[in-house]
Amino acid sequence: MRRILLISRCPPYPLYLGDRLIIWHLMRELEARHYEIDLLAFSDRPEDAAEIDQYDGYFGEVRLFPLPVNRQATYIQRILLPSARFPRRAEQASSPAMWQAIQQQIANNSYDLVHVFGGVQVYEYFHALGNLPTLITPYESYSLYLRRVLENSSGNVNRMAQTLQLRLAQQFESWMFAPYQQVVVLSDQDRDALHELNPALKITVIPNGIDLYNFRLPKVRKRAKALLFVGNYDYAPNADAALLLAQEILPQVRQQEPDVKLWLVGNAPTAAMQALASDHIKVTGRVPDVRPYLARASAFVCPLRFGAGIKNKVLEALALSLPVVATPLSVDGIHVQHEESVLIADVDTFAAAVIRLLRDAPLQQMLSAQGRSLIEREYSWSQVAQHYIALYDDLV
């Protein structure tokens, strides 16, 4: 049994926000193995304080702090002045309250290690951690995300601003994780992007998982002739993919399969998305449970053009044995095989791949079976927890 101090950029709830999902499931697995965990987290939603009772049973102590907002000048100062990159006193930190809480927790408890979740919001507290073993999970390479945004952008003014933002992110990621004994990311692509910036980083890839009980195969599957995409549309790559589906891909599919519908399911659909709602496009907003949609759709379609990290939505579709058509970026970090567990297509050939799938029942059956088998073999939360436990043991 180990005792862990967890410092996070966000609480582990609600679960429709993907960066919170990993903390929820990992801590639940560790608590079941009798780990003792205290949580210090930043909060950026008014509802966060009222939702503590959704997860505090997994922790010995939970404390939330307002997420500080740094000025651009602060980030530039840390790039230009190496001595300012890692504060050494509470008053130098973006959140003195978080710094003081960390030191108080360490002084009053015997922790085996500290696990930090997040990137620029939390990396700076390294010197508050004393001599404890430390690891940081930034989820993804933010500079990889920005590079992909830039590759898909248009307009000179917009590209200039995005290029500057990318350069700043690359500068930060070249040094911000260096003091930590171990860095964990969700995909090989994120690892490679960070190693390009700092080859000395010790990086381990541990993907997200799936709750195999909650995402077990339905007893009866009633297929609707519908394509499904699920996402939190506050996240720009998801909103972009939804509009791409509705405006470009679906019309091509309906020329060959006129009865096909599109379901866009998930939190915070944009005004542009809502304006597209019709008899053949359903925009639901946030739903209490995505599983009924996953169980009824004909295929899960994921034409992401930019983003980084692993895509929980794809893992969930595979777990419920729903055939998947995805762009290569959409399956980053997931060990799928083209034409075995998914169909992989670029944007230009995406509609053709969907049409092929809709017309090929044996292909649907194979993708359904192989997708579920892949999740069972490699992507349970129990397996994810075991990877982290092995890392903890090595550090301690």
Give the model confidence (pLDDT) of 122-162 as tens digits.
Answer: 999 999 999 999 999 998 999 999 999 888 877 665 788 88
Bridge partners for 64 per DSSP = 41
DSSP conformation class of 340: T
Tokens of 317: 């579709």
DSSP conformation class of 71: -
Residues 6 or more apart whose CB falls under 8 angstroms from that of 170 comprise: 143, 197
pLDDT digits (tens, 9 = 90+) for 43-89: 999 999 999 999 999 999 999 999 998 777 888 899 999 999 999 99
Tokens of 247: 């405006």
**Whether residue 222 has pLDDT greater than 70:** no
Residues 6 or more apart whose CB falls under 8 angstroms from that of 281 comprise: 246, 250, 261, 262, 264
Instruction: Give 177's Cβ-side CA count (13 Å radius).
Output: 33
What is the model's pLDDT at position 213?
87
What is the model's pLDDT at position 75?
86
Among 265, 255, 257, 354, residue whose Cα is nearest residue 303: 354
Interhelix angle 142-151/156-173, rounded to 10 degrees, is 160
What is the model's pLDDT at position 156?
61
**Whether residue 191 has pLDDT greater than 70:** yes
CA–CA dist 145, 307 (Å, integer): 5
Long-range contacts of 13-17 (CB under 8 A, 24+ apart): 13/48, 13/51, 13/54, 13/55, 14/51, 14/54, 16/232, 16/266, 16/267, 16/286, 17/232, 17/267
**Whether residue 168 has pLDDT greater than 70:** yes
Q: Cis peptide leading into 68, omega within 30 of 0? A: no
pLDDT digits (tens, 9 = 90+) for 76-98: 899 999 999 999 999 999 999 99
Percent of the chain with pLDDT over 90: 87
pTM beyond cutoff 0.85: yes
Residue type, 63: R
| DSSP codes joined into one string, 158-208 | HHHHHHHHHHHHHHHHTTTTTTSSEEEESSHHHHHHHHHH-TT--EEE---
CA–CA dist 11, 370 (Å, integer): 34
What is the model's pLDDT at position 219?
66
Among 141, 130, 2, 125, residue whose Cα is nearest residue 68: 125
